[in-house]
Structure formats: structure tokens, C-alpha cells
Amino acid sequence: MQDQMDIKAFFSVLKKRILTIFIVSFFVFILVGAVSIFFMKPTYESMESIVVGDLNKQTTEYAESRELNMLLASTIDFIKSPSVLNYVSNEFSISYEDIEKQVVVQNTRNSQIVNVVVRGSSPDDTEKIANMIVVTTVDKMNQLFDVQDIYILSDSPNGTTAEKIGSTTLNLGIGVVIGLLAGIGVAFLREHLDDSIRTVSQVEKELGILVFGDLHLKKKTSRKRKHEENPIQRGRKMEVVEGEKKNEVSV
């Protein structure tokens, strides 16, 4: 029973403060839309893949061997090592810290494929940086460690195409949800701070007294102007009119 009362009170507040909820939601929606369109830069993502080991070998020979696991771990660490990132940062005139923030290395368990994901505001730069990282990694590992079973997995010689992450529509949808939550929060805050008593049930609940009846006071309707004037005012007007007539006759 108490749960039903709480639900009724909840929807009662929503109905009572519907204008507040609408106004707050509208302004939050406009704010999120303006930030998404005019201030937020689009983010692009480009991914290149490196294959570690020979995929054609039997599982018992290679895939579960300690050598392959060590090679995978070494490759993942080497991709984000200063040896690779410093070379890429010098090529693109980007700081080492910025390159490090943009690069994400992914590897699924029991997989010989290592994915290099680069995110940035420019689609061309993300494509070039991702491609440069995998090329540099493979070349340096071949030169420094004489690792031959590692190569780039790509269908295009120019690398993969950058894809845009997120959209304005998604941001606006999030803005609608945030706006509704903010509007409901403001509505309940106003209801909590409102100490006025407007109904009989509120009197009985707040004061703990029994109400036998209530009076509905209405404002008196306006009457015509001549009925509002008292007899003295009407008499004065008649004297003024008669005086004016006498003056006209004397002339």
C-alpha cells in the first residue's frame, strides 16, 4: 500500500511540475546540441593489424608454445615503446605524449593478431600514423631481433580507412536523456522546498487535524460603473450639469 502511495506521489509531482521539467529539458538539450555542433571536434579511428607467428602451422607445433606467447607479449610492448613512438612523432611533428595517448594496442586471448588503433581529430593523420606505427614495428623487430614471423595484415597497400566515432545524433539523444533527468531533479527539488499548503489532504497530513469542510472563495464580478457610484457622487454630477446649463442660458 505504501509503495502505491509513493508511486502516486511521484507521478503527482511530475504532473504538477511538468512545465519545469519541459523548460529544463529544453535548455539542456539546446546546450548539448550547441556544444556538439560548434565546440566538439569529430573523432576518427583507424586500425591496422599485425600477425605474429605463422598461422599455417599446427597448434601443437607453434600456437600454444612458449615462444609464441613471448613473441606476442614482446610485440605488444614494442609497439608502444619509445623506439617506435619517437620515430613516428618525429615524422609527424607530434609530441611523444600526444602519440602515446592516441595509440591503443588490442589483442584477443589466444589470438595471434595484434590490433593497433589510433584515434584523432584528422582522418588522414590517423590513417598515416596507424600505418607508420605497424610498419615501423615490423621493420625494427626484423632488424633488431631478427624476427621473421611477423607481418602486416592489410588488404590495402595504403592502409585502412579512418572511421568517424560517434555522431551528433547520438550526442543529442544523450542530451535528451540528461535533460529529462535534470528536469525531474529540479522538479523534485522545487517540490521539496515548497512549504505551501494548498489542499485539504495536505492540511490533514501536515497539521494532523481533521478537516470537516472547506470554502471556495471567489472574487466578486465587476459591475457597471453607474452601479458602483454612490448617490452623493451621482448628485454632484447632476449639480454640475445643471450649472453648466444655466451658464449657457445666461450667455
| 77 and 122 inside one domain | yes
Q: 46, 126 in Cβ contact below 8 A?
A: yes
| 70 and 118 inside one domain | yes
Q: 33, 172 in Cβ contact below 8 A?
A: yes
| 155 and 47 inside one domain | yes
Confidence of residue 22 (pLDDT cuts 50, 70, 90): very high
The domain total for the chain is: 2
Length of the chain: 251
Question: What is the pTM (predicted TM-score) of this model?
Answer: 0.61
Range of the domain at 99: 43-165
Q: pLDDT tens digit string along 113-133?
A: 999 999 998 889 999 999 999
Cα 54 → chain centroid: 45
Residue type, 44: Y
Would 220 be classed as within a structural domain?
A: no
Would 62 be classed as within a structural domain?
A: yes
- Note the pLDDT of residue 240: 41
Q: pLDDT tens digit string along 140-182?
A: 988 888 877 888 887 665 557 788 887 788 888 999 999 999 9
| 127 and 150 inside one domain | yes
Residues 97, 89: Cα–Cα separation, whole Å: 9
Residues 153, 4: Cα–Cα separation, whole Å: 61
> Locate cell 502505491: which residue?
4
| 9 and 66 inside one domain | no
Q: C-alpha distances in angstroms, 14 versus 9, 20, 21, 56, 180?
A: 9, 9, 8, 64, 11
Tell me how many degrees the CA angle 20-21-25 measures, rounded to the nearest 5. 120
Would 123 be classed as within a structural domain?
A: yes
Contacts of 88 (CB under 8 A, 6+ apart): 94, 99, 129, 132, 133, 136
Would 134 be classed as within a structural domain?
A: yes
| 48 and 129 inside one domain | yes
Helix (H, G, I), strand (E, B) or coil at 218: coil
Backbone angles phi, psi at 35, to 5 degrees: -65, -40
- Note the pLDDT of residue 245: 45
Would 246 be classed as within a structural domain?
A: no
| 70 and 124 inside one domain | yes
Q: pLDDT tens digit string along 190-228?
A: 888 877 766 767 666 666 677 666 666 665 555 555 455
Strands 103-107 and 163-165: unpaired
CATH number at residue 92: 3.30.70
| 28 and 142 inside one domain | no
| 53 and 157 inside one domain | yes
- Note the pLDDT of residue 216: 65
Would 150 be classed as within a structural domain?
A: yes
C-alpha cell at 210: 481533521
